[in-house]
Amino acid sequence: MSATKANWVSVREYEGQDLLYVTHLWSWRCGLNGMRIGVNGAEPVTWPMPPCHEDQAAPNAILPEDGLPYATFPLGSIQQITIDVFYDDMTMETLRVNRLGQPISP
């Protein structure tokens, strides 16, 4: 998962809002124990993740009942995002990125 950090989150402007997508993290959720997201320096908060669908052929598939893998914010308001990822082995990795998804030094 570390190799895909550039894809963990993305910001899209759509219909007058910033949409913060976590689709990539949801796709890896079968190996995750959870995630927290903080926007613009705010303390990261737990973001819900749908369960791993172990009874399906593609357990990481996003199903309609899982909800939407994004949150809305005012247009242009997202400047930086902090992502805490908790792995199944109870280790944690933190990444800070700018609006374009480029890493920011700690």
pLDDT digits 0-9 by tens, 41-82: 999 999 999 999 999 999 999 999 999 999 999 999 999 999
12, burial (CB in 10 Å: exposed 0-12, middle 13-18, buried 19+): exposed
% of the chain exceeding 90 in pLDDT = 87
Tokens 């190996």, located at residue: 31
CB-CB contact of 17 with 8 (8 Å): no
CB-CB contact of 60 with 30 (8 Å): yes
